[in-house]
Amino acid sequence: MIALSAMLALSGVGGSIPSVQAASIFSDDFESGNAGSWTHTSGSWTVVQDGSSHVYYQSGNTEGRTSAGNSSWTDYSVQADVKIDNFNGTNRTYLCGRYTDGNNYYAASLSNSNGGTLEIRKKVGGSSTTLATKTDFPVTAGTVYTVKLELSGSTINFYVNNVLQLNAHDNILTSGGIGLVAYKTAAKFDNVVVSTADFTTPTPSPTATSTVAPTATASSTPAPSATPTAAPTATATVAPTTTPPPATGSLYVSPNGAAGNAGTIGSPTTLDSAITRVAPGETIYLRGGTYTFSAPVTIERENSGSSSLRKNIVAYGNEKPVLDFFAESFGSTERGLQIYGHYWKVKGLEVKGAGDNGIFIGGNYNIIENVETHHNRDSGLQISRYSSSLSNMSDWPSYNQIIGVYSHDNFDPDNGEDADGFAAKLTIGPGNVFDKCIAAWNTDDGWDLYTKSETGPIGVVTIKNSIAYKNGQTSDGSSTANSDGNGFKLGGEKISVNHIVQNSIAFQNKKHGFTYNSNPGSIQLTGNTSWSNGQSNFAFDTGTHQFTNNLSFAGGSSDKTSGTDVLSTNVWWKSNASTNAKGLVASSADFASLTPSVVRNADGSFTLGNFLKLASGSDLIGSGTPSGTNIGATLQ
């Protein structure tokens, strides 16, 4: 056999293979002097002496293919010692799994191109595809490499010298034997072993259902023309999803990772370490479990991606990473995840318990998607300048997208006035958007777009397809005298900013559903529904605001609607009655259901069922503008 002392210890991004209980189902060290178990279909294959051992040698300069094993094999690993004597240019040598024939297989590929290249490749119906690539990896002629290809379901792992180098996912080929392919190379193979094992590569979590907000007690402000109802139980439905193929150069992080580890599945690193190491276009995959922190996790300003190569922090498959900051003390510097850089994407995480904001965004062009943030001691997610030295709006965070985020039960233990679901306030630039988000059970407001005279106007914020409910107290009833409890608070200190709010719903908030909060500008409110809030459903005392297709019903006090009622398409609640300039009147009969129901799905989207849906036959259907548009939100 090829001497192990001939191997090079290769540097790379991998870690050692975790121990598994393996059962060998095939092996060949060629010491018999023949290749009785193998069938070659092309090339020049012979068993030859190499040093003190026998090896299987392909000596031709055309493609050589040989195979062995059983076509019924599914999940297994195949390992071999590989030495390439001559690349004949920059050609490849493969170790193959799920090999059916020369036109159908998965392969671990080695070549000497680009300073040495490793690839996971597949060939289906004669067409080859590269699934994962690593360049600048030293692959030299005359050196022995122990190569291992591991196949488990759709997961494909490629190891070199017991170090995981590449990972990919593909489910086209499900079974087959093993193959050795020398594409125009002269190559030697030895010590081929096929094993079945309980592989440690991750698999998606099973289908589950979890409750993400407790059932509330009945609203303290009963709705006229409707039976008082309890706030909804916001449940989360989790459907199995396909684990995304990790990008080349991905880093893996787990709760028990170590900063000095390579960042592979088998040798995961820490989140702080991965953030400093991940390159533009690459992804940090967080394994499931609880990560405990006593200080903020910070992405510094100079640590940025680009418009074409974003940096990513993503939950691995269906696994749920939880960033727990409860060890922090209460205070303005004790945030959770701080993003000062640009062009980052964070997806699929849960952030809780921070001493201040759960997530703080001070950079530009970032995306936060399908995240849950809760029980923080200030706003769940805030966008503001990250340094008080940044006095110009051009330096303030701009063009960030917050998509499918659920922010709830955030509580300020000082006075209750700062813990909003979402705060885009004080010092933000243009282009920040909230889409398909939920703010509930926060002691202050659902959304807070506050401005101060010291810093002046902020950039226009767009909120769409979103819900704010039961703000003003947490789900366990915690509140303070200073808790405002607005659903959507859209200004402050009489500073004009023309925000945009579309197709959104506010219900059963302590104070107002939608409020200008002294913003005298021209806020555009289009297609929103506000129901059963403690005070006004719409509170816009002054300003030139633009109202189109909005629906108000059963508020605690009269709506105030300073501005333009575009084409008389708004139905208001004034003097304890429904009113509209064209004579439209809303009643409980116009709704399919006034029983609150908000169900949050695994992908961060939500459904309301029949709640606040217009009933069949309602004259509010099609009465908006443009012609045929409904009055009110359409989130069902």
Q: So which residues are the catalytic ones?
A: 489
Question: For residue 216, which of 474, 437, 534, 531 has the smallest C-alpha distance?
Answer: 474
Count of C-beta atoms within a 10 Å radius of residue 299:
24
What is the spatial distance between Cα 460 and Cα 366, in angstroms, rounded to a whole number? 17
- The amino acid at 360: F
* Tokens, residue 393: 């709006």
291: left (phi > 0), else alpha (psi -120 to 50), else beta?
Answer: beta
What is the spatial distance between Cα 124 and Cα 101, in angstroms, rounded to a whole number? 10
What is the spatial distance between Cα 447 and Cα 390, in angstroms, rounded to a whole number? 24
- Sign of the torsion formed by the C-alpha atoms of 161, 162, 168 and 170: positive
409: left (phi > 0), else alpha (psi -120 to 50), else beta?
Answer: left
What is the Cα Rg of the chain in Å? 30
Count of C-beta atoms within a 10 Å radius of residue 197:
16
- Sign of the torsion formed by the C-alpha atoms of 609, 611, 613 and 619: positive
* Tokens, residue 35: 């290749």
Beta partners for residue 149, in sequence order? 78, 158
* Tokens, residue 389: 């030295």
Question: For residue 168, which of 194, 129, 196 has the smallest C-alpha distance?
Answer: 129
Angle ∠(245,251,255) on CA atoms, nearest 5:
110
CB 67 within 8 A of CB 28: no
Burial-class residue 225 by CB neighbours within 10 Å (0-12, 13-18, 19+).
middle
Residue with tokens 């004669």: 126
* Count of alpha carbons within 13 angstroms of residue 379, beta-carbon side: 23
